[in-house]
Amino acid sequence: MAFTVPTGIENRPVTVVGAGTLGRRIALMFATRGGEVRVFDMSARAGKDACDYVAAHVGEVASRIDGGTPGHARHVDDLTAAVSGAWLVVEAVPERLDLKKQVFGDLDRLADSDAILASNSSSYASSQFVDQVRHPERVLNTHFYMPPTQNAIDIMSDGQTDRAVIDLLLRELPRFGVHPFEAHKESTGFIFNRIWAAIKREALAVVAEGVSTPQDVDSMWEINMGTPGGPFRMMDRVGLDVVLDIENHYAAERPDLPTGPRELLRSYVDAGHLGVKTGRGFYDDYGTDGR
């Protein structure tokens, strides 16, 4: 079925559903063109924290984007109000398939008829959660990494996405300082994450087997790759609970994967050490600002 892509997007908000680690960073990027970004979350604290994060960083980030102008984020705790008028709705809820199915059913029912419905899922293809969606032609994956520093985005069809939707996002997203790359066929892990998963899993295995430590692995990575952080520091930033969810999803598709990496992650998650967001993960040197 053909889909009529949204028009007048310069004067319409973007809505981000979920105010967690990535939700607030996605909201930040969409606030760089002078408009409003709505952040939906049932938690008033999470919503306020997300909006405060945007306010603290949007000026600096917008200044690095050609034509960028600081906008603002607003927390909304009613989903109907949050999506009304939005040209793009980005889902950034936890990596649970049942939850995503429910969210997309609600979004398809409540959002404007021309709104694009996008998932930031890091491991699930959008084809897996359109059971309750009447208009799958407007649904797709837009997987962000860790903006505003890692600004690539995977774009992937749900198998029924209208081509005009993909073309619109490939054209428009760079205006917000992010860089889309299309996965031309369905792929668990999309493009970069599929490669990164293998690196991350082997790094975890090296530590799980007692061969090395997170700190030494990261130090070697920094020296050899010339980057300011290694795999374990990166996992802390994402959240070890999220990393574990992703690994469990890969393992469900590939039962031959080693269990050691997941067991190591589980030990941290069970102890409540989730990384930056709890102040402690593989590292315990995070300040109150989460850095």
pLDDT tens string 174-219: 999 999 999 999 998 899 988 999 999 999 999 999 999 999 999 9
pLDDT given at position 238: 87
Q: Tell me whether strands 150-157 and 139-146 are parallel, antiparallel or unpaired.
A: antiparallel
Confidence grade of residue 3 (pLDDT, cut at 50, 70, 90): confident
pLDDT tens string 29-44: 999 999 999 999 999 9
**E-only strand ranges, the chain:** 14-17, 36-40, 72-76, 88-91, 116-119, 139-146, 150-157, 179-182
**What sign results for the dihedral spanned by CA atoms 218, 223, 224, 229?**
positive
Domains of the chain: 9-182 (3.40.50.720), 192-278 (1.10.1040.10)
At residue 291, does pLDDT exceed 50?
A: no
At residue 287, does pLDDT exceed 50?
A: yes
**What sign results for the dihedral spanned by CA atoms 220, 221, 226, 232?**
negative
Whole-number Å distance between alpha carbons of 46 and 211: 39
Confidence grade of residue 122 (pLDDT, cut at 50, 70, 90): confident
pLDDT given at position 249: 84
pLDDT given at position 288: 46
* DSSP secondary structure letters along 19-51: -SHHHHHHHHHHTTBSSEEEEE-S-HHHHHHHH
Q: For the chain, what is the mean pLDDT?
A: 95
Confidence grade of residue 289 (pLDDT, cut at 50, 70, 90): very low
| Contacts of 284 by beta carbon, 8 Å cutoff, 6+ apart | none
Check if the beta carbon of residue 6 is closer than 8 Å to that of residue 41. Answer: no
